[in-house]
Amino acid sequence: MSVATPSGGTASGPSHARRIVLLRHAKADWSDTSDHDRPLAERGRKDAPAVGRMLARSGFSFDQALCSTASRTRETWKLAVSELPQRPRTVYEDRLYEASLGEIIALLNETPDDVRELLVIGHNPGVHGTADALAGEVEGDLLARMSRSGFPTSAFAVIEFTGSWKAVEHGVGRLTGFWTPHD
């Protein structure tokens, strides 16, 4: 399992170290509802708390969570956050549903600079594309592992960067962690 442990300290200015965790929602059921309203499948309801436990064990201290309004992302977040020692401020964002790489970067650019660690709960291909695009540097074989896995449901990638959220763009960060429920 490859997940970086957060460093201590606080961030209040634009030049501080920051962390983005990009989480793909847990496995969804294929029901007769609209895509936006699809609930989690049984496997998703088991994997989502495991994601929360892994995030908690890794020592993340999220200042904010940005979650798509789709049922499967909200349900993933509800089950995962119950495993965290502290609930971060949560923003449910319509624009994350089916968001492209460019749309996700635009949302990241809107993040307040008092946020040091941000969790984004979204959908593929946007989540995978964003992790891939932001990773200008990579620790070890993480990028190869992320590419081989195809960024499955309940997987998350950890990107670290220095600077303001307004400066987030292609290649700005370092991929320091990647985890799937199968790790």
d(CA 116, CA 11): 6
72 a known binding residue?
Answer: yes
Length, in residues, of the chain: 183
C-alpha distances out from residue 150 to 37, 112, 120, 128, Å: 24, 31, 18, 8
Backbone angles phi, psi at 56, to 5 degrees: -65, -45
Of the listed 98, 137, 139, 169, which one is catalytic?
A: 98
> How far is residue 180's CA from residue 183's CA, in Å, rounded to a whole number?
5
Catalytic residue of the set 25, 75, 93, 117: 25
- Respond yes or no: is residue 16 known to be catalytic: no
- Cα 19 to Cα 16: distance, rounded to the nearest angstrom: 10
Q: Confirm whether 98 is a catalytic residue.
A: yes
Q: Which residues are catalytic?
A: 25, 98
- Could you tell me which residues are annotated as the binding site? 72
- Could you tell me which residues are annotated as the binding site for substrate? 72
